[in-house]
Amino acid sequence: MARKKPESGKLLRVLGGDFFDNPLALSPDRRATVRCEIERGAGSEVVEAKFGKLQTWLQEAILAPYPLCACGRRRVGDIDRRDGYGRCVLCRNEETCDVCDDQRVRIAIIGDQRVCPVCVTRVQKDTQPGLPSEIVGSIRRQARELLACAYLTSEQGMVVLQAILRKSRLPAYASGWAHYYVREGVVWGSHLSPGALQILEHFPEAAGDPQRLMAAWVFDGPWRGGQDFFTQTQVMGRSRPVPPLPNPLHEPQLAAQLVNF
């Protein structure tokens, strides 16, 4: 029997699906699957279906975080709004640097300037304040706490969580982490390897460019799916300009608590 489409309701949260492998396409892939939780009466219901089979209200709710860019070629993702740019990646790659006037380059927003990769380090040195001591200390403390945990690879961690939760298919929040850490009945997921944590133990001793680089490891997310600065540069070997510190500053989390058992 075919699954009945949701009649109406409110989107509570998105749980996953291969639709989100490419949510920024101008025309959504109607054959891609979406798994989400919607409000239904006094309770909620988990819906899993192809995007094209969902009713219009639910399609619009799922696409709401990815508005169409003014250029009409692409949708705008969170990573493009985070620094205040607000347009799609295609537009970002065609900008003019405010510092050197180089044209059709990928830019980052630093303060009120559009800055190309060649100029970004110099501008950051001129404009970026130092980190407060409480944040510096928190990064070291969290690194040491995670290093005191038992370490599990991604595959091992998901097997352990499946056993703890008694589910063959893990919830979206618990799966897909590159590294898992376990201690005293708590399982943590992180994008940071034990080697990176050993380096972050020395975060208070770093200064200048090395500290800015290490700060990007813990401030620039999202942490799953390989889009964070650490994974892109230290694991995949890709070249990326060091992103500026978030504004306003907040205490970074080196890992997410997944299960307390």
pLDDT digits (tens, 9 = 90+) for 164-201: 999 888 888 888 899 999 999 999 999 999 999 999 99
Clarify whether residues 90 and 57 are in a common domain. Answer: no
* CA 228/CA 239 separation, integer angstroms: 12
Domain assignment of residue 20, yes or no: yes
Place of tokens 């919830």: 171
Residues 141, 254, single domain; the answer is yes
Query: Would you say residue 193 lies in a domain?
Result: yes
73 found inside a domain:
no
Name the one residue in this structure whose structure tokens are 């970002």: 92
Query: Do 217 and 148 share a structural domain?
Result: yes
165 and 210 housed in the same domain: yes
Q: Are residues 36 and 118 in the same domain?
A: no
Does residue 23 fall inside a structural domain?
A: yes
Residue in this structure with the two tokens 């060649």, named with its chain if needed: 118
| Numbers of helices and strands, H then E, in the chain | 9, 9
Q: Say if residue 56 is in the same domain as residue 148.
A: no
**pLDDT for res 91:** 94
Domain that holds residue 16: 10-63
Query: In terms of DSSP H, where are the helices of the chain?
Result: 56-63, 78-81, 89-92, 117-127, 133-147, 154-165, 194-200, 208-219, 229-230
- Same domain flag for 191 and 251: yes
Q: Within a domain: residue 103?
A: yes
Say what the pTM is: 0.54
229 is a domain residue: yes
- Domain match, 149 and 208 both: yes
- Do 83 and 57 lie in one domain? The reply is no
C-alpha span between 29 and 50 (Å, rounded): 9
Mapped onto helix, strand or coil, the DSSP state of residue 12 is strand
State whether 153 and 246 are in the same domain.
yes
Domain boundary among the residues 108, 127, 146 is at: 127
Per-residue pLDDT of the chain (261 residues; tens, 9 = 90+): 445 554 567 888 888 888 888 888 888 899 999 988 888 777 888 889 999 999 899 999 999 989 999 999 999 987 778 788 889 999 999 999 988 888 888 988 887 788 888 888 777 665 555 688 888 889 999 999 999 999 999 999 999 999 999 988 888 888 889 999 999 999 999 999 999 999 999 998 887 778 888 999 998 865 766 778 999 899 998 888 888 888 788 889 999 999 888
Domain count, the chain: 3
82 with 49, same domain: the answer is: no
pLDDT at 201: 92
pLDDT at residue number 221: 65
- b/e for 186-224, b at 16 or more Cβ within 10 A? ebbbbbbbeebbebbeebeebeeeebbbbbbbbbbbebb
Backbone phi and psi for residue 163, each to the nearest 5 degrees, phi listed first: -70, -40
Classify residue 102: in a domain, yes or no.
yes
Nearest to 13 by CA among 171, 190, 242: 171
Q: Is there a contact between 182 and 150 (Cβ–Cβ < 8 Å)?
A: yes
pLDDT of 6 reads 46
- The torsion angle over the Cα atoms of residues 133, 136, 137 and 138, rounded to 10 degrees, is 120
Residue 33 lies in a domain: yes
Could you give the CA distance from residue 82 to residue 229 in angstroms, rounded to a whole number? 14
Whether 188 and 172 share a structural domain: yes
CA distance from start to end of the chain: 38
